[in-house]
């Protein structure tokens, strides 16, 4: 997450855990199978892990439960406070995808966060992670993305028809990517990448570094 969306998470921090359990009808489909999605990310990670956009610690807790060493990177002070209160003795870092300290990391993970970067920033972040990861290291994340631009526009139209204006505004304002664009960004950095659909909005991405960075 970059600093441009800090105000969103300052406002959302206190109710975030309620939102992901489906209590907000506008976002129910976005967070459908939320627990399974987080588990899928956690089970593909190899220790030690750096987690971006750790938020209130929902993925962090699952990683720790698997015996994985985690550095939780989160720029929002409000989110960090909830995370630290929820999970004692967790290693928390103030930072984001483009500003972090992660030497020795074998996996970078995130959920519902990579879309806060523009496509250019996504490429920069992938490059930064590639420079740190060993061959065989992974980037694993789950986030909203679309197969085509037309699919994105159709989903926004459907949201407006349902009067889900907050959801539609999010889909228009933030940087939800098109899958072929994401695939190209990773492959240019030497990753083998796969996509697995989790619900109408969210895909699971698993990218393995295949060669040393130039």
| Euclidean distance between CA atoms 112 and 170, whole angstroms | 12
Edge-to-edge strand list for the sheet holding 191-197: 91-93, 70-73, 49-52, 107-111, 138-144, 202-209, 191-197
| Euclidean distance between CA atoms 75 and 96, whole angstroms | 6
DSSP code per residue over 137-163: -EEEEEEE-BSSHHHHHHHHHHHHHTT
Number of domains in the chain: 1
Q: Which residue has the tokens 């987690």?
A: 51
Neighbours of 189 (CB within 10 A): 22
Task: Report which of residues 89 and 99 the model is more confident about.
Answer: 99
Domain containing 15 — which CATH number?
3.40.50.150
Q: 50: closest CA among 98, 108, 130? A: 108
- pLDDT of 213 reads 64
- Kindly state whether residue 158 falls inside one of the protein's structural domains: no
- Kindly state whether residue 182 falls inside one of the protein's structural domains: yes
| Euclidean distance between CA atoms 113 and 125, whole angstroms | 12
- Kindly state whether residue 156 falls inside one of the protein's structural domains: no
Q: Which run of H or E residues covers position 203? A: strand 202-209
75 near 7, Cβ under 8 Å?
Answer: no
Query: What beta strand segments (E) does 94-190 contain?
Result: 107-111, 138-144
Domain with 106, as residue range(s), is: 3-145+175-209
- Kindly state whether residue 114 falls inside one of the protein's structural domains: yes
User: How sure is the predictor about 9, in pLDDT bands with cuts at 50, 70 and 90?
Assistant: low
- Kindly state whether residue 53 falls inside one of the protein's structural domains: yes
51 near 72, Cβ under 8 Å?
Answer: yes
User: How sure is the predictor about 2, in pLDDT bands with cuts at 50, 70 and 90?
Assistant: very low
Pair of tokens at residue 194: 């796969």
Q: Could you read off the pLDDT of 106-123 as tens digits, one per residue?
A: 999 999 999 999 999 999
Q: Could you read off the pLDDT of 126-140 as tens digits, one per residue?
A: 999 999 999 999 999
- Kindly state whether residue 200 falls inside one of the protein's structural domains: yes
- Kindly state whether residue 38 falls inside one of the protein's structural domains: yes
- Kindly state whether residue 47 falls inside one of the protein's structural domains: yes
Q: Could you read off the pLDDT of 42-93 as tens digits, one per residue?
A: 999 999 999 999 999 999 999 999 999 999 999 989 989 999 999 988 899 9
């Amino acid at each position: 997450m970059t600093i441009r969306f800090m105000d969103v998470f300052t406002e959302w921090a206190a109710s975030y855990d309620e939102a992901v359990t489906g209590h907000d009808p506008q976002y129910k489909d976005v967070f459908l199978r939320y627990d399974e999605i987080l588990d899928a990310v956690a089970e593909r990670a190899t220790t030690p892990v750096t987690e971006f956009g750790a938020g209130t610690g929902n993925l962090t807790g699952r990683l720790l439960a698997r015996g994985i060493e985690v550095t939780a990177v989160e720029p929002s002070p409000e989110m960090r406070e909830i995370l630290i209160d929820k999970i004692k003795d967790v290693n928390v870092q103030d930072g984001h995808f483009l500003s972090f300290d992660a030497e020795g990391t074998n996996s970078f993970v995130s959920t519902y966060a990579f879309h806060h970067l523009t496509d250019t920033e996504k490429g920069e972040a992938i490059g930064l992670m590639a420079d740190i990861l060993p061959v065989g290291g992974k980037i694993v994340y789950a986030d909203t993305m679309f197969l085509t631009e037309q699919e994105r526009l159709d989903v926004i139209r459907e949201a407006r028809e349902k009067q889900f204006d907050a959801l539609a505004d999010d889909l228009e304002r933030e940087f939800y990517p098109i899958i072929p664009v994401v695939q190209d960004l990773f492959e240019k950095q030497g990753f083998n990448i796969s996509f697995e659909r989790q619900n109408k909005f969210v895909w699971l991405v698993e990218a393995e570094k295949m060669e040393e960075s130039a």
